[in-house]
Amino acid sequence: MTQSNDPTHAFAAEWLAGLLDAIHRNLEPAEQGRLFEGCALVHYRMAGMDEIVARYAGDGTGGRPIVLLAHMDVVAAKREDWTRDPFTLVEENGYFFGRGTSDIKGDLALIAATFIRLKAEGFVPTRDLIIAFSGDEETDMATTRSLVGKHRALLRDPEFALNADGGVGVLDETTGEAAVYYVQGAEKLYATYELNVRNPGGHSSEPRLDNAIYQLADALKAVEAYHFPAMWNDWTIGSFRASGAVTPGALGEAMKRFAANPRDEAAANVLYENPSYVGLTRTTCIPTRLTAGHADNALPQSATATVNCRIFPGVGFEPVRAALAHVVGEGVEVRLTDEGTPSEASPMREDVMTAVANAVHASYPGTPIVPQMAAYATDGSVFRGAGIPTYGVSGVFIKDSESFSHGLNERVPVRSFYNGLTHWYVLIKQLAGR
Ligand SMILES: [Zn+2]
Protein backbone atom coordinates (compact mmCIF):
# COMPACT_ATOMS: atom_id res chain seq x y z
CA MET A 1 0.00 0.00 0.00
CA THR A 2 1.24 3.49 -0.82
CA GLN A 3 1.71 5.84 2.09
CA SER A 4 0.26 9.30 1.78
CA ASN A 5 2.67 12.10 0.88
CA ASP A 6 0.39 14.78 2.29
CA PRO A 7 2.68 17.33 4.02
CA THR A 8 -0.31 18.68 5.92
CA HIS A 9 -0.98 15.31 7.54
CA ALA A 10 1.53 15.90 10.32
CA PHE A 11 -0.29 18.91 11.70
CA ALA A 12 -3.87 18.15 10.61
CA ALA A 13 -4.47 16.11 13.74
CA GLU A 14 -2.74 18.70 15.97
CA TRP A 15 -4.79 21.45 14.44
CA LEU A 16 -8.09 19.63 14.80
CA ALA A 17 -7.29 18.60 18.34
CA GLY A 18 -6.48 22.22 19.17
CA LEU A 19 -9.67 23.37 17.52
CA LEU A 20 -11.88 20.92 19.37
CA ASP A 21 -10.10 21.73 22.60
CA ALA A 22 -10.71 25.43 22.02
CA ILE A 23 -14.42 24.79 21.52
CA HIS A 24 -15.03 24.15 25.14
CA ARG A 25 -12.19 26.15 26.67
CA ASN A 26 -13.21 29.35 24.93
CA LEU A 27 -16.93 29.03 25.02
CA GLU A 28 -17.45 28.08 28.60
CA PRO A 29 -14.28 28.96 30.54
CA ALA A 30 -16.12 29.06 33.83
CA GLU A 31 -17.11 25.44 33.57
CA GLN A 32 -13.80 23.73 33.02
CA GLY A 33 -14.57 20.85 35.34
CA ARG A 34 -17.95 20.06 33.86
CA LEU A 35 -16.69 20.76 30.39
CA PHE A 36 -14.10 18.09 30.53
CA GLU A 37 -17.00 15.75 30.97
CA GLY A 38 -18.95 17.68 28.35
CA CYS A 39 -16.51 17.58 25.50
CA ALA A 40 -13.60 15.46 26.47
CA LEU A 41 -10.89 15.43 23.89
CA VAL A 42 -8.64 12.49 23.51
CA HIS A 43 -5.79 12.74 21.10
CA TYR A 44 -4.49 9.26 20.91
CA ARG A 45 -1.53 7.95 19.09
CA MET A 46 -2.86 4.68 17.88
CA ALA A 47 -0.87 2.33 15.72
CA GLY A 48 1.85 5.00 15.52
CA MET A 49 -0.50 7.48 13.93
CA ASP A 50 -2.94 10.05 15.15
CA GLU A 51 -6.56 9.29 15.79
CA ILE A 52 -8.76 11.93 17.36
CA VAL A 53 -11.59 10.89 19.61
CA ALA A 54 -13.70 13.74 20.97
CA ARG A 55 -16.79 13.35 23.06
CA TYR A 56 -19.67 15.82 23.12
CA ALA A 57 -21.56 14.58 26.15
CA GLY A 58 -25.32 14.21 25.98
CA ASP A 59 -27.79 13.99 28.85
CA GLY A 60 -28.41 10.31 28.11
CA THR A 61 -32.16 10.64 27.54
CA GLY A 62 -31.82 9.70 23.86
CA GLY A 63 -30.04 6.39 24.29
CA ARG A 64 -26.58 5.12 23.47
CA PRO A 65 -23.94 7.28 21.71
CA ILE A 66 -23.60 8.04 18.02
CA VAL A 67 -20.12 8.01 16.48
CA LEU A 68 -19.23 10.50 13.75
CA LEU A 69 -16.60 8.92 11.58
CA ALA A 70 -14.14 10.47 9.08
CA HIS A 71 -10.46 10.17 8.21
CA MET A 72 -7.67 12.76 8.32
CA ASP A 73 -5.35 11.09 5.81
CA VAL A 74 -5.56 11.34 2.02
CA VAL A 75 -4.35 9.39 -0.98
CA ALA A 76 -0.91 10.50 -2.26
CA ALA A 77 -0.94 13.30 -4.86
CA LYS A 78 1.84 14.14 -7.31
CA ARG A 79 2.37 17.89 -7.24
CA GLU A 80 3.76 18.00 -10.80
CA ASP A 81 0.65 16.34 -12.27
CA TRP A 82 -1.80 18.77 -10.70
CA THR A 83 -2.82 22.13 -12.16
CA ARG A 84 -2.67 23.68 -8.66
CA ASP A 85 -0.76 22.70 -5.52
CA PRO A 86 -2.72 19.67 -4.23
CA PHE A 87 -1.88 20.56 -0.63
CA THR A 88 -2.98 24.20 -0.67
CA LEU A 89 -6.71 24.85 -0.59
CA VAL A 90 -7.61 26.91 -3.66
CA GLU A 91 -11.04 28.45 -4.30
CA GLU A 92 -11.61 29.03 -8.01
CA ASN A 93 -14.63 29.15 -10.34
CA GLY A 94 -17.02 27.98 -7.64
CA TYR A 95 -14.90 25.04 -6.47
CA PHE A 96 -12.58 24.25 -3.62
CA PHE A 97 -9.58 22.42 -5.12
CA GLY A 98 -7.13 20.30 -3.16
CA ARG A 99 -6.33 16.73 -2.18
CA GLY A 100 -8.96 15.60 0.31
CA THR A 101 -11.58 18.26 -0.53
CA SER A 102 -14.00 15.48 -1.44
CA ASP A 103 -12.25 12.49 0.26
CA ILE A 104 -12.76 13.38 3.03
CA LYS A 105 -11.35 16.48 4.69
CA GLY A 106 -14.34 18.45 3.42
CA ASP A 107 -16.86 16.47 5.44
CA LEU A 108 -14.41 16.25 8.33
CA ALA A 109 -14.27 20.06 8.48
CA LEU A 110 -18.09 20.14 8.26
CA ILE A 111 -18.43 17.84 11.27
CA ALA A 112 -15.90 19.83 13.31
CA ALA A 113 -17.64 23.10 12.37
CA THR A 114 -21.03 21.62 13.32
CA PHE A 115 -19.70 20.65 16.76
CA ILE A 116 -18.51 24.26 17.22
CA ARG A 117 -21.84 25.67 16.14
CA LEU A 118 -23.90 23.34 18.35
CA LYS A 119 -21.68 24.07 21.33
CA ALA A 120 -21.96 27.82 20.73
CA GLU A 121 -25.74 27.49 20.64
CA GLY A 122 -25.67 25.71 24.00
CA PHE A 123 -27.08 22.53 22.45
CA VAL A 124 -27.14 19.59 24.84
CA PRO A 125 -27.48 16.36 22.87
CA THR A 126 -29.80 13.65 24.18
CA ARG A 127 -27.00 11.13 23.71
CA ASP A 128 -23.21 11.29 23.50
CA LEU A 129 -21.80 12.35 20.15
CA ILE A 130 -18.37 10.91 19.62
CA ILE A 131 -16.03 12.12 16.90
CA ALA A 132 -13.67 9.45 15.62
CA PHE A 133 -11.22 10.90 13.08
CA SER A 134 -8.87 8.16 11.91
CA GLY A 135 -5.34 8.52 10.54
CA ASP A 136 -4.81 5.86 7.87
CA GLU A 137 -8.09 4.95 6.21
CA GLU A 138 -6.54 5.08 2.75
CA THR A 139 -3.84 2.55 3.61
CA ASP A 140 -4.12 0.08 6.48
CA MET A 141 -7.02 1.31 8.63
CA ALA A 142 -4.81 0.43 11.60
CA THR A 143 -5.99 3.41 13.69
CA THR A 144 -9.61 2.41 13.27
CA ARG A 145 -8.89 -1.22 14.01
CA SER A 146 -7.06 -0.12 17.14
CA LEU A 147 -10.00 2.10 18.11
CA VAL A 148 -12.67 -0.60 17.82
CA GLY A 149 -10.30 -3.12 19.39
CA LYS A 150 -7.90 -2.09 22.13
CA HIS A 151 -9.40 1.39 22.70
CA ARG A 152 -13.04 0.46 22.27
CA ALA A 153 -14.01 1.86 25.69
CA LEU A 154 -13.54 5.36 24.21
CA LEU A 155 -16.58 4.76 22.01
CA ARG A 156 -18.79 4.10 25.04
CA ASP A 157 -20.85 1.32 23.50
CA PRO A 158 -22.33 3.30 20.59
CA GLU A 159 -25.65 2.41 19.01
CA PHE A 160 -24.42 3.21 15.50
CA ALA A 161 -21.95 5.32 13.52
CA LEU A 162 -22.48 7.97 10.86
CA ASN A 163 -19.66 7.73 8.34
CA ALA A 164 -18.73 10.88 6.39
CA ASP A 165 -16.70 8.71 4.03
CA GLY A 166 -19.69 7.05 2.40
CA GLY A 167 -22.97 8.07 0.82
CA VAL A 168 -23.07 10.95 -1.63
CA GLY A 169 -25.37 13.42 -3.30
CA VAL A 170 -25.29 13.45 -7.09
CA LEU A 171 -25.82 16.65 -9.08
CA ASP A 172 -27.39 16.45 -12.52
CA GLU A 173 -24.74 16.72 -15.26
CA THR A 174 -26.63 19.35 -17.27
CA THR A 175 -28.67 21.35 -14.79
CA GLY A 176 -26.35 21.05 -11.78
CA GLU A 177 -29.44 20.47 -9.61
CA ALA A 178 -29.61 17.66 -7.04
CA ALA A 179 -30.59 14.39 -8.75
CA VAL A 180 -30.32 11.72 -6.07
CA TYR A 181 -28.80 11.10 -2.64
CA TYR A 182 -27.28 7.70 -1.77
CA VAL A 183 -27.19 6.44 1.82
CA GLN A 184 -24.55 3.74 2.15
CA GLY A 185 -25.37 0.85 4.48
CA ALA A 186 -23.09 -1.94 3.28
CA GLU A 187 -19.64 -2.40 1.75
CA LYS A 188 -18.30 -5.35 -0.20
CA LEU A 189 -15.35 -7.27 1.15
CA TYR A 190 -12.02 -7.06 -0.65
CA ALA A 191 -10.00 -10.24 -1.15
CA THR A 192 -7.24 -11.45 -3.44
CA TYR A 193 -6.51 -15.11 -4.14
CA GLU A 194 -3.70 -16.77 -6.01
CA LEU A 195 -4.25 -19.79 -8.24
CA ASN A 196 -1.06 -21.75 -8.55
CA VAL A 197 -0.09 -24.73 -10.68
CA ARG A 198 3.26 -26.53 -10.30
CA ASN A 199 4.91 -28.92 -12.70
CA PRO A 200 8.29 -30.70 -12.91
CA GLY A 201 8.95 -28.83 -16.17
CA GLY A 202 11.77 -29.85 -18.48
CA HIS A 203 13.25 -29.07 -21.91
CA SER A 204 10.80 -27.30 -24.26
CA SER A 205 12.00 -29.52 -27.13
CA GLU A 206 10.42 -32.47 -25.28
CA PRO A 207 6.94 -31.28 -24.28
CA ARG A 208 5.09 -33.21 -21.57
CA LEU A 209 1.37 -33.85 -21.87
CA ASP A 210 0.75 -31.92 -18.65
CA ASN A 211 1.75 -28.27 -18.77
CA ALA A 212 1.37 -25.72 -15.97
CA ILE A 213 0.28 -22.95 -18.34
CA TYR A 214 -2.37 -25.07 -20.08
CA GLN A 215 -3.65 -26.25 -16.72
CA LEU A 216 -3.87 -22.71 -15.34
CA ALA A 217 -5.58 -21.50 -18.53
CA ASP A 218 -8.21 -24.25 -18.11
CA ALA A 219 -8.64 -23.25 -14.47
CA LEU A 220 -9.22 -19.61 -15.47
CA LYS A 221 -11.77 -20.61 -18.13
CA ALA A 222 -13.60 -22.51 -15.39
CA VAL A 223 -13.57 -19.39 -13.16
CA GLU A 224 -14.91 -17.38 -16.10
CA ALA A 225 -17.81 -19.78 -16.55
CA TYR A 226 -18.68 -19.87 -12.87
CA HIS A 227 -21.31 -17.47 -11.49
CA PHE A 228 -21.42 -16.99 -7.74
CA PRO A 229 -25.03 -17.27 -6.55
CA ALA A 230 -27.16 -14.12 -6.59
CA MET A 231 -27.47 -12.42 -3.19
CA TRP A 232 -29.27 -9.37 -1.89
CA ASN A 233 -29.89 -7.17 1.14
CA ASP A 234 -32.11 -4.16 1.97
CA TRP A 235 -29.55 -1.80 0.44
CA THR A 236 -29.23 -3.51 -2.93
CA ILE A 237 -32.97 -4.14 -3.24
CA GLY A 238 -33.69 -0.49 -2.39
CA SER A 239 -31.04 0.60 -4.82
CA PHE A 240 -32.42 -1.51 -7.71
CA ARG A 241 -35.98 -0.41 -6.96
CA ALA A 242 -34.94 3.24 -7.29
CA SER A 243 -32.70 2.88 -10.34
CA GLY A 244 -35.21 0.55 -12.04
CA ALA A 245 -37.79 3.33 -11.91
CA VAL A 246 -35.60 5.70 -13.92
CA THR A 247 -33.60 3.32 -16.16
CA PRO A 248 -35.09 2.69 -19.62
CA GLY A 249 -35.21 -0.56 -21.57
CA ALA A 250 -34.34 -4.13 -20.67
CA LEU A 251 -31.86 -3.07 -17.99
CA GLY A 252 -34.49 -1.04 -16.13
CA GLU A 253 -36.95 -3.94 -16.44
CA ALA A 254 -34.39 -6.35 -15.00
CA MET A 255 -33.73 -4.00 -12.08
CA LYS A 256 -37.44 -3.77 -11.27
CA ARG A 257 -37.89 -7.54 -11.53
CA PHE A 258 -34.82 -8.28 -9.40
CA ALA A 259 -35.99 -5.77 -6.76
CA ALA A 260 -39.43 -7.43 -6.69
CA ASN A 261 -38.01 -10.95 -6.65
CA PRO A 262 -34.24 -11.43 -6.32
CA ARG A 263 -34.74 -15.14 -7.10
CA ASP A 264 -35.68 -14.14 -10.67
CA GLU A 265 -32.69 -15.70 -12.43
CA ALA A 266 -33.40 -14.18 -15.82
CA ALA A 267 -33.36 -10.69 -14.28
CA ALA A 268 -30.17 -11.46 -12.36
CA ASN A 269 -28.55 -12.64 -15.58
CA VAL A 270 -29.31 -9.37 -17.36
CA LEU A 271 -27.68 -7.49 -14.48
CA TYR A 272 -24.74 -9.92 -14.62
CA GLU A 273 -23.82 -8.57 -18.04
CA ASN A 274 -23.55 -4.98 -16.84
CA PRO A 275 -20.25 -4.06 -15.14
CA SER A 276 -21.94 -1.32 -13.09
CA TYR A 277 -24.49 -3.69 -11.56
CA VAL A 278 -23.06 -7.19 -11.52
CA GLY A 279 -21.30 -6.47 -8.21
CA LEU A 280 -24.58 -5.53 -6.56
CA THR A 281 -26.05 -8.95 -7.29
CA ARG A 282 -23.32 -11.30 -6.03
CA THR A 283 -19.70 -11.97 -5.14
CA THR A 284 -17.44 -11.36 -8.13
CA CYS A 285 -13.97 -12.81 -8.82
CA ILE A 286 -11.87 -11.79 -11.78
CA PRO A 287 -8.26 -12.53 -12.85
CA THR A 288 -6.07 -9.42 -12.75
CA ARG A 289 -2.49 -10.74 -13.20
CA LEU A 290 -0.61 -13.69 -14.64
CA THR A 291 2.92 -15.00 -14.19
CA ALA A 292 4.36 -18.26 -15.50
CA GLY A 293 7.54 -19.95 -16.64
CA HIS A 294 11.19 -19.00 -16.21
CA ALA A 295 12.82 -19.29 -19.66
CA ASP A 296 11.79 -19.24 -23.32
CA ASN A 297 13.18 -22.73 -23.86
CA ALA A 298 11.93 -24.42 -20.68
CA LEU A 299 8.63 -26.05 -19.80
CA PRO A 300 6.92 -23.96 -17.09
CA GLN A 301 7.52 -25.19 -13.54
CA SER A 302 4.84 -22.93 -12.22
CA ALA A 303 1.98 -20.74 -13.41
CA THR A 304 0.17 -18.29 -11.17
CA ALA A 305 -2.92 -16.18 -11.64
CA THR A 306 -4.03 -13.42 -9.30
CA VAL A 307 -7.78 -13.35 -8.88
CA ASN A 308 -9.35 -10.31 -7.20
CA CYS A 309 -12.70 -10.80 -5.53
CA ARG A 310 -15.34 -8.46 -4.12
CA ILE A 311 -17.27 -10.56 -1.68
CA PHE A 312 -20.92 -9.96 -0.84
CA PRO A 313 -21.41 -8.73 2.77
CA GLY A 314 -21.99 -11.58 5.16
CA VAL A 315 -19.88 -14.10 3.19
CA GLY A 316 -16.38 -14.84 4.50
CA PHE A 317 -13.06 -15.53 2.78
CA GLU A 318 -13.09 -19.29 3.17
CA PRO A 319 -16.38 -20.04 1.37
CA VAL A 320 -15.12 -18.05 -1.62
CA ARG A 321 -11.74 -19.83 -1.56
CA ALA A 322 -13.54 -23.15 -1.35
CA ALA A 323 -15.83 -22.26 -4.26
CA LEU A 324 -12.84 -21.27 -6.40
CA ALA A 325 -10.96 -24.44 -5.43
CA HIS A 326 -13.99 -26.53 -6.35
CA VAL A 327 -14.37 -24.76 -9.70
CA VAL A 328 -10.70 -25.06 -10.75
CA GLY A 329 -10.42 -28.67 -9.64
CA GLU A 330 -7.50 -30.77 -8.52
CA GLY A 331 -3.92 -29.73 -9.10
CA VAL A 332 -4.58 -26.02 -8.73
CA GLU A 333 -3.73 -24.54 -5.37
CA VAL A 334 -5.98 -21.65 -4.28
CA ARG A 335 -4.88 -19.40 -1.44
CA LEU A 336 -5.91 -16.08 0.06
CA THR A 337 -3.13 -13.49 -0.34
CA ASP A 338 -4.76 -10.17 0.59
CA GLU A 339 -7.84 -9.42 2.61
CA GLY A 340 -10.12 -6.58 3.75
CA THR A 341 -12.26 -6.51 6.88
CA PRO A 342 -15.32 -8.78 6.81
CA SER A 343 -18.53 -6.92 7.61
CA GLU A 344 -22.25 -7.54 7.46
CA ALA A 345 -24.69 -5.11 5.88
CA SER A 346 -26.06 -2.74 8.54
CA PRO A 347 -29.77 -3.01 9.30
CA MET A 348 -31.75 -0.25 7.62
CA ARG A 349 -32.92 2.08 10.41
CA GLU A 350 -36.05 4.16 10.07
CA ASP A 351 -34.66 6.93 12.33
CA VAL A 352 -31.44 7.27 10.32
CA MET A 353 -33.19 7.18 6.93
CA THR A 354 -35.70 9.82 8.06
CA ALA A 355 -33.01 12.06 9.54
CA VAL A 356 -30.93 11.79 6.36
CA ALA A 357 -33.95 12.64 4.23
CA ASN A 358 -34.63 15.73 6.36
CA ALA A 359 -30.97 16.76 6.26
CA VAL A 360 -30.81 16.41 2.47
CA HIS A 361 -34.18 18.06 1.85
CA ALA A 362 -33.21 21.09 3.96
CA SER A 363 -30.97 22.17 1.05
CA TYR A 364 -32.26 20.01 -1.82
CA PRO A 365 -36.04 19.61 -1.45
CA GLY A 366 -37.64 16.56 -3.02
CA THR A 367 -34.37 14.75 -3.81
CA PRO A 368 -34.87 10.95 -3.83
CA ILE A 369 -33.05 9.16 -0.99
CA VAL A 370 -31.70 5.86 -2.28
CA PRO A 371 -30.06 3.02 -0.33
CA GLN A 372 -26.62 1.95 -1.53
CA MET A 373 -24.13 -0.87 -1.11
CA ALA A 374 -20.60 0.23 -1.98
CA ALA A 375 -18.10 -1.82 -3.97
CA TYR A 376 -15.23 -0.11 -2.11
CA ALA A 377 -14.36 -0.38 1.57
CA THR A 378 -13.84 2.38 4.15
CA ASP A 379 -13.35 2.62 7.93
CA GLY A 380 -17.06 1.78 7.95
CA SER A 381 -16.21 -1.86 7.21
CA VAL A 382 -14.03 -1.96 10.34
CA PHE A 383 -16.87 -0.53 12.42
CA ARG A 384 -19.41 -2.94 10.93
CA GLY A 385 -16.98 -5.80 11.38
CA ALA A 386 -16.81 -4.84 15.07
CA GLY A 387 -20.60 -5.06 15.33
CA ILE A 388 -21.34 -1.31 15.12
CA PRO A 389 -23.97 -0.56 12.43
CA THR A 390 -22.60 2.19 10.19
CA TYR A 391 -24.27 4.53 7.72
CA GLY A 392 -22.48 6.51 4.99
CA VAL A 393 -24.08 9.96 5.05
CA SER A 394 -21.66 12.48 3.48
CA GLY A 395 -22.94 16.04 3.34
CA VAL A 396 -21.56 16.79 -0.10
CA PHE A 397 -23.29 16.86 -3.50
CA ILE A 398 -21.19 16.64 -6.66
CA LYS A 399 -21.53 15.74 -10.35
CA ASP A 400 -20.27 12.27 -11.27
CA SER A 401 -18.03 13.87 -13.90
CA GLU A 402 -16.42 16.13 -11.28
CA SER A 403 -15.78 13.45 -8.70
CA PHE A 404 -12.00 13.04 -8.57
CA SER A 405 -11.48 11.31 -5.23
CA HIS A 406 -8.06 9.63 -5.35
CA GLY A 407 -7.53 11.32 -8.76
CA LEU A 408 -6.19 14.55 -10.24
CA ASN A 409 -7.42 18.05 -9.37
CA GLU A 410 -9.84 16.79 -6.70
CA ARG A 411 -12.51 19.37 -5.98
CA VAL A 412 -15.83 20.09 -4.35
CA PRO A 413 -18.40 22.72 -5.38
CA VAL A 414 -18.30 25.65 -2.91
CA ARG A 415 -22.11 25.85 -2.71
CA SER A 416 -22.37 22.13 -2.05
CA PHE A 417 -19.72 22.37 0.68
CA TYR A 418 -21.61 25.09 2.55
CA ASN A 419 -24.89 23.19 2.19
CA GLY A 420 -23.01 20.42 3.98
CA LEU A 421 -23.06 22.57 7.12
CA THR A 422 -26.85 22.42 7.09
CA HIS A 423 -26.71 18.69 6.37
CA TRP A 424 -24.70 17.72 9.46
CA TYR A 425 -26.50 20.25 11.66
CA VAL A 426 -29.95 18.88 10.79
CA LEU A 427 -28.76 15.28 10.94
CA ILE A 428 -27.28 15.61 14.43
CA LYS A 429 -30.19 17.63 15.81
CA GLN A 430 -32.64 15.04 14.48
CA LEU A 431 -30.82 12.04 15.88
CA ALA A 432 -29.59 13.56 19.14
CA GLY A 433 -31.97 16.44 19.81
CA ARG A 434 -35.44 16.87 21.15
ZN1 LIG B 1 -12.15 8.29 2.04
pLDDT, block means (10 residues), the chain with 434 residues: 57 68 52 42 73 88 97 89 91 93 92 88 93 90 92 94 96 94 96 97 96 98 97 96 93 97 96 93 97 98 98 96 98 96 95 98 97 92 97 96 85 96 98 96
User: Based on the domain organization, do 319 and 396 belong to the same domain?
Assistant: no
- From the CA of 254, how far away is ligand 1's center (Å)? 32
- From the CA of 98, how far away is ligand 1's center (Å)? 14
Alpha-helical runs (H) found in 247-349: 249-260, 265-272, 278-281, 317-328
pLDDT value of position 41 = 65
User: Based on the domain organization, do 169 and 266 belong to the same domain?
Assistant: no
User: Based on the domain organization, do 174 and 197 belong to the same domain?
Assistant: no
The C-alpha atoms of residue 132 and residue 320 are separated, in whole angstroms, by 32
CB contact at 8 A, 317 and 336: yes
- From the CA of 350, how far away is ligand 1's center (Å)? 26
User: Based on the domain organization, do 308 and 178 belong to the same domain?
Assistant: no
- From the CA of 71, how far away is ligand 1's center (Å)? 7
- From the CA of 378, how far away is ligand 1's center (Å)? 7
Domain membership flag for residue 180: yes
Indicate which CATH number applies to the domain containing 119. Answer: 3.40.630.10
User: Based on the domain organization, do 53 and 154 belong to the same domain?
Assistant: yes
CB contact at 8 A, 417 and 96: yes
User: Based on the domain organization, do 309 and 404 belong to the same domain?
Assistant: no
User: Based on the domain organization, do 367 and 424 belong to the same domain?
Assistant: yes
pTM here is 0.87
User: Based on the domain organization, do 323 and 368 belong to the same domain?
Assistant: no
Would you tell me how many other CB atoms lie within 10 Å of the CB of residue 166? Answer: 28
- From the CA of 31, how far away is ligand 1's center (Å)? 36
- From the CA of 46, how far away is ligand 1's center (Å)? 19
**Coil vs helix vs strand at 383:** helix
Structural domain including 175 reads 9-186+344-432
Residues lining ligand 1 (ion), CB within 5 A? Answer: 103-104, 165
pLDDT value of position 29 = 38
Domain membership flag for residue 2: no
Domain membership flag for residue 368: yes
- From the CA of 163, how far away is ligand 1's center (Å)? 10
- From the CA of 413, how far away is ligand 1's center (Å)? 17
Query: How many domains, the chain?
Result: 2
User: Based on the domain organization, do 348 and 335 belong to the same domain?
Assistant: no
- From the CA of 75, how far away is ligand 1's center (Å)? 8
Indicate which CATH number applies to the domain containing 259. Answer: 3.30.70.360
Of 339, 372, 391, which one is at a domain's C-terminal end? 339
Would you tell me how many other CB atoms lie within 10 Å of the CB of residue 266? Answer: 9
Domain membership flag for residue 32: yes
Of 296, 312, 339, which one is at a domain's C-terminal end? 339
The C-alpha atoms of residue 343 and residue 355 are separated, in whole angstroms, by 24
CB contact at 8 A, 293 and 261: no
- From the CA of 165, how far away is ligand 1's center (Å)? 5
Domain membership flag for residue 1: no
User: Based on the domain organization, do 227 and 291 belong to the same domain?
Assistant: yes
Of 307, 339, 371, which one is at a domain's C-terminal end? 339
- From the CA of 103, how far away is ligand 1's center (Å)? 5
- From the CA of 425, how far away is ligand 1's center (Å)? 21
User: Based on the domain organization, do 381 and 241 belong to the same domain?
Assistant: no
pLDDT value of position 2 = 41
pLDDT value of position 427 = 98
User: Based on the domain organization, do 235 and 127 belong to the same domain?
Assistant: no
Domain membership flag for residue 167: yes
